[in-house]
Structure 1
Amino acid sequence: MSSSESAFAISDDIELHPIAKSRSNSSRDSAEQNSQFSDLGTSLGLDPSRSKLKSFLYRLWNGPIVPRDDPVQFKSAYIQQFESFPQRISAPFPAKIKLPFILLYYTFWLFILQQALAPYLTEQPTWEDEVSGKSLDVISISCRQESSIWRGKNAQCGLNGKKCAPFEDREVYVRCPALCDSESIAYSSISVGDQNIKYRDFTIGGGRLNFPVNGSLSYPYRADSFPCGAAIHAGVVSPYFGGCARIKFVGAQSEFPSRDGSVGFNGFFPASFEFVQLPKCHNCFDPRVLVALINILLGFPVMFLSNSGALAFWTVCISGFWTIILTFDPPMVVKAQDPESLATLISLGFQRLLPLCFILYVFWKIACKTTLSYPSSPICKTLIWYPLFWVGILNNVTFDRLPVDRLTITDILTQPGSIFATLGIVVTIVCGAVVQAYHLWKAGKFREYLRLYVGFIVALVVLGNLAGLNLRIHHYILAMLLLPGTNTKGLTAMLFQGVLLGLLVNGVARWGLASIEETDRSLRRADPTGEIKPPTFIGYEHSNTSISWKVQETNTPTMVNGEFISPHDKLSQFSLLINDIEWYNGPNTSVSLETLAAENKILSQLILSSDSSQDQNLYFRVSRSGGNVRSDYTNAAVLKYPSGQFSFPKPGLTK
């Protein structure tokens, strides 16, 4: 046994019984044994003159006498044959022979992707009308609100909803992407009567019909429901492959009962839509799952056969990046009708790729090169590191399914289940950090990384206390913070490094290099600001069916989204919503329902359409308005009409 092996063996067995194989009662043997113990203890950092605690801390800080960072090794001769296979087939061939084969393989890879992806991105989806034989255009939309179908919440459809008309006898043909089962969630609050919908699918009413009725496949959905989410809810579109849907507007409904988990609304709404049977469609299905599978499968040989590690590293990172950009979680919807749509997406991809390549190069040098370069375990790289890399890359179907929107106190407290999910994430990170810290200690790298992470913690504390800013640990930033600590060759580095690198590539591809410090305004999304307070309701007068409100006038300018607005001068109008549609915009602080109905045929039909002997719910919200500026709205006051029972709104604001 060599001297280094002997030292390592001793360092792993500190009971010291190999040193004293027999115990002599003579003072000379005892002195020699004590001398050997003293010399060995000093070499290990266990100075007999120190206390046990000091000795432990000394060894903790200085690490083992012989640092060791070995790759994963298997005892089975059969597995060792697989482990050595990449080296055996690569060694006999020079680089000038291997390079053409590598280029040919990449060419084949790109050709397969082009065949799978190009038609979806470049060819316009169409219907084939069975009656006329004509091809009808289909619009490609995202999983959330589509302004060409419904402009948006509150007053965005204009007075009486005219900007969103017609409310019936209109058909729209849409192509929905895949994964809208989780992407059709309202991440900012949207009012539905007296409910504020957030962190759930925004589909109101509807539901699947067991048997088609006159061509209709679903019950009516309220027209502001997210179309693709509603299509999945109705069973018209696949959550995994997307598809096309035919939307038919069928006019007003007196209520929208909740079915199969949708949002219920017990009041009238002037517009609704159903899904109706489809003619033959072309180029409707989203190939993102297929493209991801192609990239994963074709990356396995590169990962297993690459000895240097660099080729595998850059191959999987670049293929993963473009998988996110072009198909699996694109930052914008490609519309074949727009000739610059795909070019814009590719341009955005290169804008994010260049800085990402620099970041990847840094992490290759400081962590990934150690883990992936020879000597390393090809089996562990292929069956552990590589699959976990794709777990991180496909974040929108892995970690994004957890009930955690953003790691801010407000979001964690608001989103159901977020507290427990966040605790689970924190516990997982802490346990992983402790395990990996031990392997860094074994490799003799503990001191330098302890200093590094103390610096990280100090920097985060400083950033978290900057006035007017919020510390945002995006998942790509979390990956950047944790990746340096995976600079070892063992199994734990394989486990942690793959998923962290995947999160880094996914975050930059999907969202760009978002700032670690963000303002309250940028985090607010479309939630209430509270910068201009809305009026407050006074009540309902049954004798003349009037609802009234009051406002505290002020002449002091108010800052709204960075602009000074004088409420007294510029917000002299009032916007009144009834059942989430604006039916009045003017200077009066009192409005009669009978007068409004007499002036508006649609509202009159909606109010008088139900049985007059039974009450119907009317939901009122009011705000101040002037030009393009509006205050927040109140929460909904509820009037049971015509009996006149009035309930004041709950405290709070809506946007």
Structure 2
Amino acid sequence: MVVGFWYVALISQPVPSYSFIEACMGRFLPFLFIAYMLYLYGGKTAIPPPTHMLERFALYWFPAWFFVHMNYLTFIFPDEDITGGEQVVTDDGGIAVVQPPVSWNPLAITLMVAACSIALFLLYKLFRAIWRSGRTLPYLTGYISALAVLILFAVAVSSQYFVHLHHYQLGMAIWPITAFSMGPAAFAQSIMAGLYIQGVARWGFGSTFTYTGYRPKTPDFVGNITISNETTDGALVEWPAANYTIAPVYSVVVNTIEMCRVTDTQCRISGLLPGLSYHVCVRNVVEGYEGSCEGNQRFNTTAAPDL
């Protein structure tokens, strides 16, 4: 877990903070404490002695590191514009937001089917183990009580807060039902560990309830984005300079993933997959406040040459 934390924080998804060391260390110590608690209460129970290196890889290494890299999944799954759609001018001179169609690709469909099949199999094995252990009632009581408290609190503060379940919280919530000494439990725990590592290392310990009363003034969105020089793994993105008293930083986002932050008015994005469609937008970042991604553009990477 320690290696995974610093891999995400330093290489995979560095923390975008003016005080990088402070942000990372502020997360790392609580991260270690919770990781130790997870090991004591369920982790060491679900680790059967592996008989072969391939078994260790399949049960522990692969699922954990796959979800440590879950930020890359948005490059594969449908490039639906979840940032508000594309603005177009209507016949009467108004502005309308048009949602582009969802573009599925064969790899995304294959991964989705495989993930659902694995999830159903793991749930069957875990629920069967809970039933055989005779602890069904305590598990049901605990989860139903926690869910009831969450729902009641969410309803009580719904006018000022909205609920956001972070994936590190999902990993911690599912962890207790995996405390059984068998392969499926170890596999499920590896997935939960990957969610916990990636979530905390990149996003920190975000709250389940986010206050909506404070609305800072956000910068205007960047329009008139130009995309050129498309290749198999990227393209050149250009945009007009923003008119602010304080020079803004520009954040280039592809399929909800920030690819770069620059002070120039262009950025070369790379590392994409060939022959796929992507959304790109540019946000103004002024005095720490990020603008919206309303001026989206769609582009296609060129197909890989046939060998």
> Which residue number corresponds to residue 229 of structure 2?
none
Corresponding residue to 1:325 among 2, 5, 9: 9
> Which residue number corresponds to residue 385 of structure 1?
60
Report the Cα distance in structure 1 between the residues aligned to 2:116 and 2:151, rounded to whole angstroms: 17
Q: Shift in Å at residue 416 of structure 1?
A: 5.7
Report the Cα distance in structure 2 between the residues aligned to 1:464 and 1:415, rounded to whole angstroms: 32
Structure 2 counterpart of 1:469, which letter?
A: Y
Corresponding residue to 2:42 among 343, 364, 367: 367
What SS is found at the alignment partner of 1:382?
helix
Report the Cα distance in structure 2 between the residues aligned to 1:519 and 1:495, rounded to whole angstroms: 36
1:462 aligns with 2:146: no
1:461-540 equivalences under 5 Å are 461-465=151-155, 466-467=157-158, 468-520=160-212
Alignment length, in residue pairs?
207
Structure 2 counterpart of 1:327, which letter?
A: I
- The 1:486–1:501 alpha-carbon spacing in structure 2 relative to 1, beyond 3 Å, is same
What SS is found at the alignment partner of 2:207?
coil
Report the Cα distance in structure 2 between the residues aligned to 1:329 and 1:402, rounded to whole angstroms: 19
Residues 151-179 of structure 1: per-residue CA shift (max 9 Å, x gap):
xxxxxxxxxxxxxxxxxxxxxxxxxxxxx
| Regions of 4+ moved over 6 Å | 408-411, 418-421, 423-428, 521-525, 579-583
> Which residue number corresponds to residue 261 of structure 2?
none
Q: Which of these two proteins has the greater Rg computed from alpha carbons?
A: 1
> Which residue number corresponds to residue 448 of structure 1?
138
Q: Shift in Å at residue 324 of structure 1?
A: 0.9
Unmatched segments (≥5 aa) in structure 2: 86-97, 221-238, 244-286, 296-307
1:346 aligns with 2:21: yes
- The 1:394–1:520 alpha-carbon spacing in structure 2 relative to 1, beyond 3 Å, is same
Q: Shift in Å at residue 494 of structure 1?
A: 2.2
Residues 303-336 of structure 1: per-residue CA shift (max 9 Å, x gap):
xxxxxxxxxxxxxx00111111111211138xxx
What SS is found at the alignment partner of 1:377?
coil
What SS is found at the alignment partner of 2:49?
coil
What SS is found at the alignment partner of 1:370?
coil
- Asked whether the 8 Å contact 2:13–2:202 carries over to 1, the reply is yes
Q: Shift in Å at residue 361 of structure 1?
A: 1.8
Residues 189-230 of structure 1: per-residue CA shift (max 9 Å, x gap):
xxxxxxxxxxxxxxxxxxxxxxxxxxxxxxxxxxxxxxxxxx
Structure 2 counterpart of 1:326, which letter?
A: L
Q: Shift in Å at residue 445 of structure 1?
A: 2.9
Query: Structure 1 vs Structure 2: percent identity of aligned residues?
Result: 21
Q: Shift in Å at residue 474 of structure 1?
A: 1.1
What SS is found at the alignment partner of 1:500?
helix
Root mean square deviation of aligned Cα: 4.4
- Asked whether the 8 Å contact 2:46–2:180 carries over to 1, the reply is yes
Report the Cα distance in structure 2 between the residues aligned to 1:428 and 1:447, rounded to whole angstroms: 25
Corresponding residue to 1:355 among 7, 21, 30: 30
- Asked whether the 8 Å contact 1:392–1:502 carries over to 2, the reply is yes
Report the Cα distance in structure 2 between the residues aligned to 1:448 and 1:474, rounded to whole angstroms: 25
Structure 2 counterpart of 1:318, which letter?
A: V
- The 1:361–1:404 alpha-carbon spacing in structure 2 relative to 1, beyond 3 Å, is farther
What SS is found at the alignment partner of 1:371?
coil
Residues 602-645 of structure 1: per-residue CA shift (max 9 Å, x gap):
xxxxxxxxxxxxxxxxxxxxxxxxxx9xxx9xx99xxxxxxxxx
Corresponding residue to 2:71 among 380, 384, 396: 396
- The 1:455–1:409 alpha-carbon spacing in structure 2 relative to 1, beyond 3 Å, is farther
1:300-311 equivalences under 5 Å are none
Structure 2 counterpart of 1:480, which letter?
A: M
- The 1:400–1:525 alpha-carbon spacing in structure 2 relative to 1, beyond 3 Å, is farther
Unmatched segments (≥5 aa) in structure 1: 1-316, 334-340, 529-578, 584-627, 637-655
Higher relative contact order (CA 8 A, sep 6+): 2
Structure 2 counterpart of 1:452, which letter?
A: G
- Asked whether the 8 Å contact 2:14–2:202 carries over to 1, the reply is yes
What SS is found at the alignment partner of 1:386?
helix
- TM-score under structure 2 normalisation? 0.54
Report the Cα distance in structure 1 between the residues aligned to 2:242 and 2:201, rounded to whole angstroms: 39
Q: Shift in Å at residue 457 of structure 1?
A: 2.2
What SS is found at the alignment partner of 1:518?
strand
Report the Cα distance in structure 1 between the residues aligned to 2:136 and 2:124, rounded to whole angstroms: 11
Report the Cα distance in structure 1 between the residues aligned to 2:138 and 2:167, rounded to whole angstroms: 25
Residues 563-621 of structure 1: per-residue CA shift (max 9 Å, x gap):
xxxxxxxxxxxxxxxx97789xxxxxxxxxxxxxxxxxxxxxxxxxxxxxxxxxxxxxx
